[in-house]
Chains A and B, each alone.
Chain A
């Protein structure tokens, strides 16, 4: 199967065209047209990307196998968890958020529940104190602030 490269090439070709077209729509800079405007370099790039995308569509490499659906769903959940962690640092505080994400990740990588919880809690506490007290980079306390 040589689908991957074809699909990716197609997507990149669309990107190249959209990017190049957008470049032609830039407003003329204050002070008038120059020999090299803000659009010159982007247009060159869109040509390079366009040519290599077409090559990929015409002569694709063999596919690397994608994981089964279940794994892809799991990876998406991990990505969502990372985003949730990023969001949670400020409202709930660094230590709880970090403990949760590290435990979750190491559990998903195959550690037992207790061991992943221990890893999560100890690493987040150590890193918090390392950053806050030794390196003096304040991390939000969140819920633990009182």
Chain B
């Protein structure tokens, strides 16, 4: 019952007028960010971090703001899937399969409403899962010593490519590049300058928020220019909503199944939201398809949407309890925590109980806000979606730059941002994933610290890294996570592609 009272305490934080205001603002911004194609959740949250930072918001407020943006982005992703047949972000891909056909049949409003309800159920159930699982995992993680942590970090990188990852060596390479950038600056424990080339600006290292905004937002701008995608895409017109309670009841079982599966996929390392929505969709298809799936079955909209939102909340479990994020967006949220001087991990639940439970309670509030917002106001979001990128992307770039500039008032930071943008463009051209780079920059200092602690305790004996059953287990999972995708990956990818093609033909 301990958890219950902590959660109630959390609600007392989350239900203050200030917190509710930030949850509402975050929900609206997040839905917009998720709805705009090309401006994924990781990107959007990254742009908002420097803003939250320079506004001097309290840690609780900034986290509430950004987690609602995160939740909102997951809601928003479905709008462009349904109306444009283009997923706003990768996990929303499966929603296209039945959502777009529904829209073509003149049921766009119903598809949007059903997906909003499914999203709500997905997030709600997964947040309950988070409440139950996170404290248990946090308690368990207290047993981790430095060598276990070192293994855990390795595991995070090894599984980041996910089961669908294409080239594991490129993930590894990206992680190494990120970790290398993290070593720039004065070494905290010995005071030795590393790779600073005696430049004062590099003494404190490279700010990862600048890197995130550059890598994501600026490289996206360059890609938009290159593809001449400035005009945007034609969307299906939206009709008047006619949804009976019967229709809602019909999709409830699919939503519940999707939510649970999504949550599990979100918690597991290397699975993530894409796999969550994929599993939910295929399983729903197997259990209840009577030839309607892929042609606009409401249950085919509900299942992946619930799965993707469930996974999004599930992904917060490893991020909050272990300090090891499982996806790009949670990595960006981790960046937020670190820049607020809060170190996530098992101690977070003891030292900052107020904050954690406040944020968890805010997720419940934010979800309710999102549901209320998304059903009546969907028309407004749809209107904004029709602003062509040629006007929107330059403004987004401007807002991103202002955010970076207002943190330190130095043009140098902006030069760095543009530099990272060019690097991001090149990385994407050679298919080097960006998320491991970010994660490397974030986790680098902690990873090196745990290696150092482990080896100091053992007096330089490298065997210490494998001294407990737990760390051996973590290494085994890490190695499996690296090797399995090479074997299983092509099969899963082929399956995902096939179900997408099948839907297109139908």
Determine if B144 is an interface residue (Cβ-Cβ < 8 Å): no
Determine if B397 is an interface residue (Cβ-Cβ < 8 Å): yes
Q: B431 contacts A36, CB within 8 Å?
A: no
Given contacts A5-B430, A40-B451, A56-B169, contact A86 B415 (CB under 8 A): yes
Residues in A whose Cβ lies below 8 Å from that of B167: 61
Question: Which one of B230, B431, B456 contacts A111 once the chains associate, using CB atoms below 8 Å?
Answer: B230
Count how many chain A residues have C-beta atoms less than 8 Å from C-beta atoms of the other chain. Answer: 67
Q: B169 contacts A38, CB within 8 Å?
A: no
Question: Which one of B172, B388, B459 contacts A48 once the chains associate, using CB atoms below 8 Å?
Answer: B172
Given contacts A38-B190, A38-B192, contact A56 B173 (CB under 8 A): yes
Q: A45 contacts B391, CB within 8 Å?
A: no
Determine if B231 is an interface residue (Cβ-Cβ < 8 Å): yes
Question: Which one of A42, A79, A89 contacts B418 once the chains associate, using CB atoms below 8 Å?
Answer: A79
- In the complex, residue of chain A having the shortest beta-carbon distance to the beta carbon of B460: A35
- Chain B 426-461 near chain A by CB (<8 Å), digits 1 or 0: 100111100000000000000110011001100110
Q: B394 contacts A119, CB within 8 Å?
A: yes
Q: How many A-B residue pairs have CB under 8 A?
A: 176
- In the complex, residue of chain B having the shortest beta-carbon distance to the beta carbon of A27: B192
Q: A137 contacts B173, CB within 8 Å?
A: no
Determine if A34 is an interface residue (Cβ-Cβ < 8 Å): yes
Q: A135 contacts B422, CB within 8 Å?
A: no
- In the complex, residue of chain A having the shortest beta-carbon distance to the beta carbon of B414: A86
Determine if B225 is an interface residue (Cβ-Cβ < 8 Å): yes
Residues in A whose Cβ lies below 8 Å from that of B405: 86, 89, 139
Q: B393 contacts A105, CB within 8 Å?
A: yes
- In the complex, residue of chain A having the shortest beta-carbon distance to the beta carbon of B406: A137
Given contacts A79-B422, A90-B411, contact A19 B394 (CB under 8 A): no
Give A78 to B431 CA distance when docked, in angstroms: 22
Determine if B187 is an interface residue (Cβ-Cβ < 8 Å): yes
Determine if B300 is an interface residue (Cβ-Cβ < 8 Å): no
Determine if B218 is an interface residue (Cβ-Cβ < 8 Å): yes
Q: B390 contacts A111, CB within 8 Å?
A: yes
Residues in B whose Cβ lies below 8 Å from that of A103: 394
Q: Is the interface of B mostly helix, strand, loop or mixed?
A: helix
Q: B406 contacts A139, CB within 8 Å?
A: yes
Q: A75 contacts B222, CB within 8 Å?
A: yes
A-contacting residues, B59-77, CB 8 Å? none
Residues in B whose Cβ lies below 8 Å from that of A34: 190, 456
Q: A105 contacts B190, CB within 8 Å?
A: no
Determine if B228 is an interface residue (Cβ-Cβ < 8 Å): yes
Residues in B whose Cβ lies below 8 Å from that of A115: 391
Determine if B479 is an interface residue (Cβ-Cβ < 8 Å): no
Given contacts A5-B430, A36-B455, contact A106 B390 (CB under 8 A): yes
Q: A109 contacts B190, CB within 8 Å?
A: no
A-contacting residues, B185-218, CB 8 Å? 187, 190-192, 194-195, 218
Tell me which of B390, B394, B406, B430 has the highest count of chain A C-beta atoms within 10 A of its own C-beta. B394
Give A37 to B405 CA distance when docked, in angstroms: 36
| Further pairs besides A56-B170, A135-B55: 5, Cβ < 8 Å | A16-B176, A38-B187, A45-B180, A82-B418, A110-B390
**Which of B's residues lie within 8 Å of A, judged by CB?**
54-55, 166-167, 169-170, 172-173, 175-177, 179-180, 183, 187, 190-192, 194-195, 218, 221-222, 224-226, 228, 230-231, 388-391, 393-395, 397-399, 401-402, 405-406, 411, 414-415, 417-418, 421-422, 425-426, 429-432, 447-448, 451-452, 455-456, 459-460
Would you give 17 A-B contacts (Cβ < 8 Å), ordered by A?
Answer: A26-B192, A31-B190, A34-B456, A36-B451, A55-B169, A56-B170, A61-B166, A61-B167, A67-B226, A85-B401, A86-B405, A86-B414, A86-B418, A101-B394, A102-B394, A115-B391, A127-B399
Q: List the 3 closest A-B pairs by CB distance, nearest first.
A: A35-B460, A86-B414, A109-B230
